[in-house]
Structure 1
Amino acid sequence: MSSRINIHTVAMWMLPVLLLAVYLLPLAGVFGWSVSRPEAGLENYARVLTDTDTLNILWRTARICLTVTVVSVMLAYLMSYHWVYGSPARKFFMELCIFIPFWISVLIRAFGWVVILRNKGIVNTFLLDLNLIAEPLTLVRTEFSVILGMVHFMVPFAVFPIAASMRQIDARVLLASRGMGATPGFTFWNVFLPLTIPGVLASAIIVFVFALGFFITPAILGGGKIVMVAEYIYIQMFQTANWGFGAALSIFVLAIVGALAGLLFKVIRPERLVN
């Protein structure tokens, strides 16, 4: 018995040490770079907030992330509804749509969209054969292609919080609404949807936070023309060797992610979604 207690005590003490070594020390190093390279001070943070190119990239990143979040959550809501309330065959189909993407590499998915959207790809070839267009559409190296690839990746992640909130709804509440003469549309907008709002908000924050850190998909589908903040940080640190500015931009993005994570755990309290 004492040996088990000792092992448990050691494990409890080792966890903070591991977290310190794996996360906090590297983070402290990055923060140190941000205020010391090339010179000591806060010039790198001032540049993040004043440099025109950086602000344009931050605005593009925010715009793309918001679009991806809205589209992903809407699609995830529809899929979650059919997954929770659909027939057995429909539930099985939804499970295939949700879980199979997890088995496919993000790199393969990105190149798959390139094959589909390029000038001689499946979409343009199909439209040309039907004489719907006179020349191939420019679908890759655009914000559209980046958003499409990111939505494809994020929808499965967006499904789980929404589906969890739907499973917590007491069916008797919906039956009571219908029994009192409410139409299906009224029941959905005034009863069902408000009860699923915590799952929707949790899903939206999760998708937005994930989208902020996207690198491979924008790099491949954007082709260097649609640069997002993660790729810009990589360029600053590994191509231009501007370690201080890249570190400051990393800390800036981390602060945004931390604020959103705090909102997720304080306001939405996602632990309710898994009980």
Structure 2
Amino acid sequence: MSFNESVLGKEYLKYCNLKEIALNTKTLDLSNISWFFPTCLLPLGIFIKEHKEIHVIPPIDIEVAKYFNIIMKDKIDSVKRSYIPIVEILPNKKLIEKNLDSLISNKDYNMGSLNAFAYFIGELITNIYEHSKFSTAYIIAQRYNQKNFTEIGIIDNGISIPGSYEIKGFNFSDIKALEEAIQGLSTKYNDNEYSERGYGLRTSLNLLTEGFEAKCLIVSRGVGLIANKNNRFFYKMKEKDIFNGTLISTRFDNNIREVNVYAYIDT
């Protein structure tokens, strides 16, 4: 399967195409965009924040423009009931807890799903704080009632998964670095042994693809991953599609069964 055959891969490549045109023309033209899904909106938000010199033409559609504008606010909150609020992951870890409460307290999911969801978010945020060295990071999720799915994305503009291994002296290709991260190889040392923190990404991916039966995407520097319950495909990203940071997104049905998170935690 090619990267752009995945629904999440297509959304990421939509961002890459918009970015490439904007860098060449100094104008980000969003006027004809009919809708944004989180996988496209998150990297677009970071791109705009990092390239203030680029002129942004907003979407013509009023509802799409409103949805787009929420990622542009300094303080991000919920604007519709179908939104799981967009949350900025602040460099000060103590300030994130209050915002996370709103992210994981949506009453439209059963308690077992919420516990698994909270674990997934917690693991990824912990990894961002411990490894990423980021300046900007976001979480966004939205439930689409008519389409019957929820899409969640988490992004940071840090050193990337391959970059984290490089700092620790590993000579991995970008694809090899992501493969090792998913296998549980940590970049943290503890008396020459690898700490259990390295299992966070592996556990989260198993929880999503097997527990939630979700589709998943990871892009980190020059490597991409598309994963589902049955397959995992790694991709060497084209130069124009590299993301200097890490994007993780997932899409799953709204009517997911109750998930026992402990069945997926490595012991």
Q: TM-score range by the shorter chain?
A: under 0.3
Q: Which one has a bigger Cα radius of gyration?
A: 1
State TM-score, norm by structure 1. 0.26
Structure with greater strand percent: 2
Bigger relative contact order, structure 1 or 2 (CA pairs below 8 A, ≥6 apart): 1
Structure with greater helix percent: 1
State TM-score, norm by structure 2. 0.27
